[in-house]
Chains A and B, each alone.
With several copies, the nearest count.
Chain A
Amino acid sequence: MEKLTKDKAKWVYKTMNDIRNFENEVHNIFTTGEIPGFVHLYAGEEAIATGVCAHLTDNDYITSTHRGHGHCIAKGCDLDGMMAEIYGKETGLCKGKGGSMHIADIDKGMLGANGMVGGGFPIAVGAGLRNKYLKTKDVAVCFFGDGAANEGTFHEGINLASIWNLPVVFVNENNFFAEATPQWYSSGSKTIADRAAAYGIPGVTVDGKDLVAVYEAAGEAIDRARSGKGPTLLECVTYRNYGHFEGDEQKYKAPSGKEKEEANRDCISQFRDYAIEHQLLTNKEAEEIESQSMADIEHAIKFAEESPVPRPEALFEDVYAN
């Protein structure tokens, strides 16, 4: 596994900021009514997508979730195209036909946000099967929530990856809630990683707010996959900054106590401190990245706002290939 170099640290810090800024802006814009539909924000969980995708190239695949913006950004999707997609504009990554829950860019190895909870497991297994069949060293990463771990696709998907020894890493984002339902209610197992044993694969739990911890654990799991040793189930414990979707009152979140304290930890400032302390970033570099990131997101918003809506005929296009 590649150590966290200065270059990588810059990419990491930029990516985390991009995600945070993107999501905060979408949050603000949503209240104006300019963005239609359902939007699930990734803010607070940046360390996971970033720490995992730091190990991936465009040739590696990921599957994502309804909360997909972070994965898209970390996998290299174009910010302008993403924002335009969320606005439903013709210049969107999916021509405005997918929206927030279906952002995808196969050229970047991004196999789609997914409106179906648990929808990603089999698709990631398929990408892993392809990688193995074609004798590449590429991996597939399946991001999924704590709630998704109770879908049958979790079971079938991980079991297949295990018995076929596929290069797939299952990255769980355990933010304690599936909508308004806590993980401790919905799962018979204590942790998500506890379920790995049922498939004879390693299960690891890390602090998902700690970029370095995620980076290292993911690096190990991805190396394992690349070298033909099969899948890993990596659980990253985290918390989301916003509600389940925009408009959620979040009555289920703890008003105080340990959960609340966890919630208040910020993965970005924690990484900033770490990077400066370990001389991976200077204060000045960090500040430059911060303002560059804001500028990039503002650019994306402007791009989205100014883009045209899809042509009417687009309704009928792209149903069948050829």
Chain B
Amino acid sequence: MMSRRLTFMKAINEGLEQAMEKDDRVILLGEDIAGGADVKHLEEKNEDAWGGVFGVTKGLMPKFGRERVIDTPISEMGYMGAAVGAAATGLRPVPELMFNDFIGFCFDTILAQGSKMRYMFGGKAKIPMTIRTCHGAGASAAAQHSGSYYGMLGAIPGVKVVVPSNPYDAKGLLLAAIEDDNIVVFSEDKTLYGMKDEVPEEYYTVEIGKAKIKREGTDLTIVAIGKMLYVALEVADRLAKDGVDVEVIDLVTVAPWDEQTVLHSVKKTGRLIVIDEANPHNNTATDIASVVSDKAFDYLDGPVKCVCAPNTPVPFATNLEQLYLPNADRVLKEAAEIIEDLKK
């Protein structure tokens, strides 16, 4: 395949398109994922008005029709639960929750229904459903549209969660999620939508549950989730100047996260920083820290450092929002204790 560059957004769009081409049972549901339902002049031209609030699903309705790209009323509990029902009865729905912050409107369908059905029913049900949503601060979207709840969702038994950091993974993980027979939350960082990178044209999957080593190193491991990868890479670059050789791991899957890869790396480096944009308590970073501090106890040359968002909602003002987000300076400062003695 010729190399070809796509935006993160377009990679997801192409993933959806190929999933729908491959399997008739894949349907999309969400608010304005097409837009303009029942608007005469658009219907006449078979046009979508929006294709999602960010344009991620643009063009899919014209191609697959409104039977498969279904605009919903503002009824998150209704359509998310309908996706559970459709999945339990044989379809492979891909509902979109426009912002992960809206989870409070449909949490029961995930927490108590979809995630527990298989168990409660003694293994008779499967719920092959991919929830596309977006998370993340940095778009000045304020407290109710900027949170990061992938960790909270991943803590629910029965739910898998992936957080792609680049267009290639976005497409491949999405296709893997749609092939998966479980509820998979596919959480997109809204500030990455414009990012461009090489994306193969053909259908491919990226394995769920497998972290990726983005840079090998021997002195210090940094595990990062989603966009935080770029913070980790910057830290690695800056530390390289001090002679510190950093191994950077893109977690890729938040639940179940890849213990093997992370432990293997930490056993080599003896030091770990985890960068997670979620609020600081009970998040994926602390989960990783607790497991690594336990299972790699004898290998650790210093404490595991979690660098996360503060224990606050996301502020609106741009300057505050930038302070809210973990960045390289903060990582270097908060993890100074384990970094300082590495510098040569």
The answer to whether A309 touches B317 (Cβ under 8 A) is yes
Indicate the member of A107, A160, A252, A322 with the most B CB atoms within 10 Å.
A252
* B120→A94 contact, CB < 8 A: yes
The verdict on B47 contacting chain A, using a C-beta distance below 8 Å, is yes
Q: Which of B50, B157, B158, B317 contacts A97 (CB 8 A)?
A: B317
Please report which residues of chain A, range 149-173, place their CB below 8 angstroms from some CB of chain B when the two chains form the complex. 150-153, 156-157, 159-160, 163-164
Per the 8 Å Cβ criterion, residues 299-330 of B in contact with A are 310-313, 315-320, 323-324
Kindly list chain B residues whose C-beta atoms are within 8 Å of the C-beta of A38.
140-142, 145
Minimal Cβ-Cβ distance residue in A for B119? A318
A96 touches B316 (CB 8 A): yes
Nearest CB of chain B from residue A150's CB, rounded to whole Å: 4
Contact assessment for A319 and B122 in the assembled complex, using a CB-CB cutoff below 8 Å = no
Q: Is the CB of A119 within 8 A of B317?
A: no
Which residues of B from 74 to 103 have beta carbons under 8 Å from A? 74-91, 93, 101-102
Q: Are A97 and B78 in contact (CB under 8 A)?
A: no
B105 touches A178 (CB 8 A): no
A179:B31 contact, CB within 8 angstroms: yes
B53 — which chain A residues lie within 8 A by C-beta? 179
Cβ B41 vs Cβ A255 within 8 A: yes
In the bound complex, residues from chain B placing their C-beta under 8 Å from that of A314 are 315, 317, 320
Q: In the complex, what's the smallest C-beta–C-beta distance from A71 to chain B, in angstroms?
A: 15
* A93 at the B interface (CB under 8 A): yes
- Least CB distance from A267 to B in Å reads 24
- Whether A180 touches B316, Cβ cut-off 8 Å, given contacts A98-B142, A122-B84, A319-B158, is no
Map CB proximity to A onto B93-135 as digits: 1 under 8 Å, 0 otherwise.
1000000011011001100110001111111111110000000
Q: Which of B50, B145, B313 contacts A319 (CB 8 A)?
A: B313
Q: Interface segment, B12-20, B32-40, B241-249, B269-277?
A: B32-40
B119 surroundings in chain A (CB, below 8 A)? 97, 318-319
Q: Give CA–CA (A37, B105) in the complex, Å.
A: 23
Q: Which A residues are CB-close (under 8 A) to B85?
A: 63, 111, 122-130, 140
Q: How does the 8 Å CB contact mask read for B246-285 relative to A, with 1 for contact and 0 for none? A: 0000000000000000000000000000000000000000
B143 touches A102 (CB 8 A): yes
Number of interface residues of B (CB under 8 A): 85
**Which one of B49, B89, B142, B320 lies within 8 Å of A252 (CB-CB)?**
B49
Whether B49 pairs with A312 at a CB distance below 8 angstroms is: no
CA distance A67 to B94 in the complex (A): 29
> In the complex the two chains form, is B37's CB within 8 Å of A181's CB?
yes
B78/A181 in contact, CB under 8 A: no
- Whether A187 is near chain B, meaning CB under 8 Å from some CB there, is yes
Beta-carbon contact of A251 and B117 below 8 Å: no
Q: Size of chain A's interface in residues, with CB distance under 8 A? A: 84
How far, in angstroms, from A273 to B93 measured CA to CA in the complex? 48
Flag if A180 contacts B105 (CB, 8 Å): no
* Least distance between B242 CB and chain A CB atoms (Å): 27
Chain B nearest CB, measured from A95 CB (Å): 4
**Given known contacts A98-B143, A179-B53, A116 and B105 CB-to-CB distance under 8 angstroms:** yes
Q: Given the known A-B contacts A37-B316, A160-B75, are A99 and B140 also in contact in the complex, defined by CB atoms under 8 Å? A: yes
Residues of chain A within 8 A (CB-CB) of B75 are 150-152, 156, 159-160
Chain A nearest CB from B247 CB (Å) reads 29
Distance between Cα atoms of A187 and B38 in the complex (Å): 12
Complex Cα distance, B234 from A283, in Å, reads 64
Specify the chain A residue showing the minimal Cβ separation from B45. A251
B140 touches A88 (CB 8 A): yes
When distances are taken between beta carbons in the complex, the residues of chain B under 8 Å from A92 are 122
Contact B74 A316 (CB under 8 A): no
Asked if residues B84 and A118 are in contact (CB atoms below 8 Å), the reply is no
Are A121's CB and B81's CB within 8 A?
Answer: yes
* List of A residues within 8 angstroms of B140 by Cβ: 36-38, 88, 99
**Nearest-neighbor residue (CB-CB) of B53 within chain A:** A179
Q: How far is the CA of A230 from the CA of B112 in the complex (A)?
A: 28
Question: Is B195 on the interface with A (CB-CB < 8 A)?
Answer: no
Is A68's CB within 8 Å of the partner chain B? no
Q: Given A111-B89, A185-B71, check contact A119 B49 (CB 8 Å).
A: no
Cβ of B124: which chain A residues have Cβ within 8 Å of it? 94, 104-107
For residue B161, give the distance in angstroms from its CB to the closest CB of chain A: 13
B144 within 8 A of A: yes
Give the docked Cα–Cα distance between A91 and B311 (Å): 24
Chain B residues with CB under 8 A of A121: 78, 81
A69 → chain B closest CB, angstroms: 14
**Which A residues are in CB contact (< 8 Å) with B83?**
126
Residues of A within 8 A of B315 (CB): 96-97, 310, 314-315
Q: Which residue of A lies closest to B121 (CB)?
A: A104
> Which residues 292-322 of A have a CB within 8 angstroms of B?
309-310, 312, 314-322
With A61-B89, A130-B89, A147-B74: A119-B113 Cβ-Cβ less than 8 Å: yes
Q: Does B139 contact A (CB under 8 A)?
A: yes
Chain B residues contacting A214 (CB-CB under 8 Å) are none
Interface pair B37/A182, CB less than 8 Å apart:
yes
Are B120 and A112 in touch, CB under 8 angstroms? yes
Can you show 26 pairs from A to B with CB atoms below 8 A apart? A36-B140, A37-B141, A37-B142, A38-B141, A88-B316, A106-B88, A106-B89, A115-B142, A115-B145, A121-B81, A122-B113, A127-B86, A134-B91, A150-B75, A150-B78, A152-B75, A152-B78, A152-B105, A160-B79, A180-B49, A181-B36, A187-B73, A251-B50, A314-B320, A318-B123, A319-B157
Minimum-distance CB pairs A-B, first 7: A126-B85, A122-B81, A156-B78, A180-B35, A99-B316, A115-B144, A36-B140
> Which residues of B approach A to under 8 Å, CB–CB?
27, 31-32, 35-42, 47, 49-50, 53, 67-68, 70-91, 93, 101-102, 104-105, 108-109, 112-113, 117-128, 139-145, 157-158, 160, 180-182, 310-313, 315-320, 323-324
A interface, CB within 8 angstroms of B: 36-38, 61, 63, 85, 88-90, 92-102, 104-107, 111-112, 114-119, 121-131, 133-134, 140, 147-148, 150-153, 156-157, 159-160, 163-164, 178-182, 184-187, 249, 251-252, 254-255, 309-310, 312, 314-322
